[in-house]
Amino acid sequence: MEVYRDELSVRTSKRLEILDITDQVKESISRSGILEGFVILWEPHTTATIAVNEGDPELWQDILDTFTRLVPIDRGYRHNAKYRGIPGEQNAHAHILNCLCGPSISIPLVEGRLTLGTWQRILFIELDGPRSRRVFLQVVGE
Amino acid sequence: MEVYRDELSVRTSKRLEILDITDQVKESISRSGILEGFVILWEPHTTATIAVNEGDPELWQDILDTFTRLVPIDRGYRHNAKYRGIPGEQNAHAHILNCLCGPSISIPLVEGRLTLGTWQRILFIELDGPRSRRVFLQVVGE
Amino acid sequence: MEVYRDELSVRTSKRLEILDITDQVKESISRSGILEGFVILWEPHTTATIAVNEGDPELWQDILDTFTRLVPIDRGYRHNAKYRGIPGEQNAHAHILNCLCGPSISIPLVEGRLTLGTWQRILFIELDGPRSRRVFLQVVGE
């Protein structure tokens, strides 16, 4: 069993934003040389998340609109009240959405390629930007 | 480390539907011969998802009702407007729910058996059917 | 490839409650002796879930408030009606939230340590307590 690790940098430019990181993930998997196994994507942040879905910017806006309709940015959260006056901590909505969506995704590899379906792209979802973000990537296999 | 892979076929018959695929997953794990390790379930679709929960059809209806109450099928989505007139693309709700629920689940194996609790069944959740669907299955271990 | 397994016990004391289990997970990883690899956390219950987020009790209350605002405890669920009169089965909300949040999280290990970010703690989320719960832990690597 080989374990290859890498870290991607993601620079977000808005409060809420979706970025397609599929190509960066593919390059990293190529560098690993691993053919049969899987990749674990892990984002070490509590106010962003990762998903796998279509590469359609209109859909991305639908996703973000729905997220903030269900979990509004301003809603009298205890977390925000506790850190009142600290702009970077008015982000309970982002923490809650991270709990719903999760911080990791594991994707099988076959012959060195991600088993993504036709419409699947790997999406980094910023929920409290703009910020510099990291995605930890671990390729495991042979 | 051994890596065994398999693919399950799932045929859904409704727009929204939950199917229990536990027995198919168990058969595949038996064929793998792997005793200690884990299985990664991966669905390569952007408008369906996988969950693990109770095998109760009434509960399944509660789950689907809640999903479409939170993310209604008709709600003026940009994605649907962009593909207006294409019936197969009026499915932003399904994409959004997939982002919330996720495309993969990893389940540990002990002595060749899934570590499912008493009430846990593996559920394929169709969000934009009826369609022919696939579930990719990768068993990793020794 | 080595596979080490362990099981954590979690005792919850409320209907809805969040407990920080990071230290228990870290102790188990230390005992495994595995340095490079990952851990799969698996909870074998259908009415609880696991998340990774900040160790802030005020935020935890925001999370639980949002969960039950989106998926109310009392809402005429078919599952609850079917098991009317059985107090332990009035819990469709918990099943549905488990489907949204998921039963497993995989976290990479580097040099024997979890790759948790500064604010990330591993949280057990009780959705239908108080109960005795288990978290299955599988460390895989070398």
pLDDT of residue B70: 98
Instruction: Name the nearest CA neighbour of C103 among B56, B95, B123, A42.
Output: B123
pLDDT of residue C1: 87
| pLDDT of chain C, 142 residues: tens digit per residue | 899 999 999 999 999 999 999 999 999 999 999 999 999 999 999 999 999 999 999 999 999 999 999 999 999 999 999 999 998 899 999 999 999 999 999 999 999 999 999 999 999 999 999 999 999 999 999 9
Average pLDDT, chain A: 97
Mean pLDDT of the region A8-23: 98
C52 Cα to chain A: minimum distance (Å): 7
pLDDT tens-digit map of A116-137:
999 999 999 999 999 999 999 9
CB-based contact C105 A106, cutoff 8 Å: no
- Tell me which residue in B63, B100, B117 faces C44 most closely, judged by beta carbons: B117
pLDDT tens-digit map of A41-59:
999 999 999 999 999 999 9
Instruction: Determine contact: B2 vs chain C, CB below 8 A.
Output: no
CB-based contact B117 C77, cutoff 8 Å: no
Full set of structural domains in chain B with CATH: 2-141 (2.60.120.460)
Residues in chain C within 8 Å Cβ distance of B63: 95-96, 99
The helix or strand, by DSSP H or E, that contains position A2, with its residue range, turns out to be strand A2-11
Side chain identity at A33, as an amino acid letter?
G
pLDDT tens-digit map of C15-26:
999 999 999 999
DSSP states of C21-58: -HHHHHHHHHHHT--SEEEEEE---SSEEEEEE---HH
Q: Taking 90 as the threshold, does the pLDDT of residue A23 lie above it?
A: yes
Question: Residues 113-142, chain B: which have Cβ within 8 Å of C?
Answer: 115-120, 123, 125, 140-142
Q: Taking 90 as the threshold, does the pLDDT of residue A80 lie above it?
A: yes
Nearest 5 degrees, angle CA C138-CA B125-CA C53? 45
Q: Which residues of chain B have pLDDT under 50?
A: none
pLDDT of residue A15: 98
pLDDT of residue A69: 98
Separation CA B49–CA B66 (nearest Å):
15
What's the token pair of residue B48? 């369906």
pLDDT of residue C3: 97
pLDDT of residue A59: 98
Cross-sheet strand order for the sheet of C132-141? C2-11, C132-141, C37-42, C104-110, C113-114
pLDDT of residue B1: 87
Instruction: Determine contact: B81 vs chain A, CB below 8 A.
Output: yes
